[in-house]
Amino acid sequence: MRDRTFQITSGAVVLVLLFTVIALALVSLQSGPKLREITLNSNLATALPQQRVALAFNQSINADNLGEIKLTPAADITASVTENKLILTFARPLLAGVTYRAETAVTSATTGTSRAITGEFTTDPLDLTVLKPRPAETQTTAQDKIIAYRVAASGSITNPKNGNSTASGIELFEGARITDFARGGDWLAVTKQNNARAMDFLVQRIGSATARADGAAAAATDNPAGRTPERAAHIPAEQTIIPQTPTQQRRALAFSDDGALLGIKFFNGVSDNLHLYPVSKIDPDTVRSVRNEAGNELTVTSWAFIPGSSEAVLQTESGSYYRVPLNGAATQISAEQVAQLLAKMNTAEIFTEQPESVADVMFPLPTSKTVFDGVLSIRDNNLLYNGASLYEPAAESSKITGVCVSANEQFALARVTAANSQSQLSVIELATGKTLFSAPGVTADWCR
């Protein structure tokens, strides 16, 4: 009898719980869709147009009954619905280090119940990687350095490792006579002179401390609680020297936007060729040479990865253009197709040689840039202009010898060369003209 009473009681409890769950589910459905999460790829969203932000809900939503979307700060977007997700596609790259707020009303596709929702997401600061050459008057033992900064809309410059405010940056690499570099996520590729005064390609995974040309890196403590901010190791230091001769022309190195490939243009003793390496396995044995459909290796004068992909375009010595897919042979295309594939990239800068810079002929920078809202240009060698005066060096004897912009066209980078030929790179917010900071350097990854 006692067992039967227990069974009846247990069954009643189960029924109560079941009814409670059903009731809560009905209440949840009747209260309208609830926002669960917001996802985006911040690196791509602040670098490329037509990137998406997805707002996921706890139930499917009605695509035909979507409320007006208010976005702060304002941006040009299109909206679409896929089952339980509201997809916002941004016409232009997002601002970096900014919190966006989206407000709208969504309707349940199941019950027809509407609900006002508000969601926020914050983009990451931009990475800025700078080449700082050794001062000309120093001893020959001094090294060139590659230094990383993170730049946000608030004007803050932060330590890439720990987010603390800093104006000095973090040294990623040092070595003699650096001639080119590229950064892709956790990887750094460099061309430099070796001890035998020959040139090397070197690929370095960014480690816990300053990487040196000999591949060594300062050790980080194994005790997480004891780590100082400067020693906060997140990945091990790795280094590979690729036995090829760097090209004497510009754009020797580049990573694809999706981080899958490293492209290296090198000199084979007769002409320049292009090799592609998978970033997941940087090794001389994994190289893929770029060949046409006949199997012939192509000579290369200029090249670039297609934004947002692992495909590339190149120009040969004969002036022909080719598209290089992720796998397979390169196919010939027209100059018009190149312009379409590279979209916002300035093809005139990529496929023609730039004029020599006053500051340093090894690192030529453009004297004007076409941006979303007009043209950014240098006037009279000492005024940065975008429809109004934007920036002017403090010293009258200093000249602006080149200008670049961040991928999202939020910031300008001006190279200022003093009377003693020393160069500084100044970061300016385009919307306000505010100078965020200046640091010694001749070029940066924003200028590629």
**DSSP assignment of 82-144:** ETTEEEEEESSPPPTT-EEEEEEEEEBTTT--EEEEEEEEEPPPEEEEEEEPPPTTS-TT--E
Using CA atoms, how far apart are residues 65 and 322, in angstroms rounded to an integer?
A: 46
Nearest to 50 by CA among 60, 40, 37: 40
- Sign for the CA dihedral angle at 403, 335, 51, 76 comes to positive
pLDDT digits 0-9 by tens, 17-41: 444 444 444 444 457 899 999 999 9
Answer yes or no: is pLDDT of 88 > 90.
yes
How many CA within 13 A on the CB side of residue 403?
A: 26
348 sits in which H/E element: helix 347-350
Mean pLDDT of 382-393: 82
Answer yes or no: is pLDDT of 276 > 70.
yes
**pLDDT for 438:** 87
The better pLDDT of the pair 367, 441 is held by: 441
Mean pLDDT of 177-185: 85
**pLDDT for 30:** 59
Answer yes or no: is pLDDT of 231 > 80.
no
- Winning range, highest mean pLDDT, from 230-244, 298-312, 345-359: 298-312
SS3 for 103-118, per residue?
EEEEEECCCCCEEEEE
At residue 367 the predicted structure's pLDDT band, cuts being 50, 70 and 90, is: low
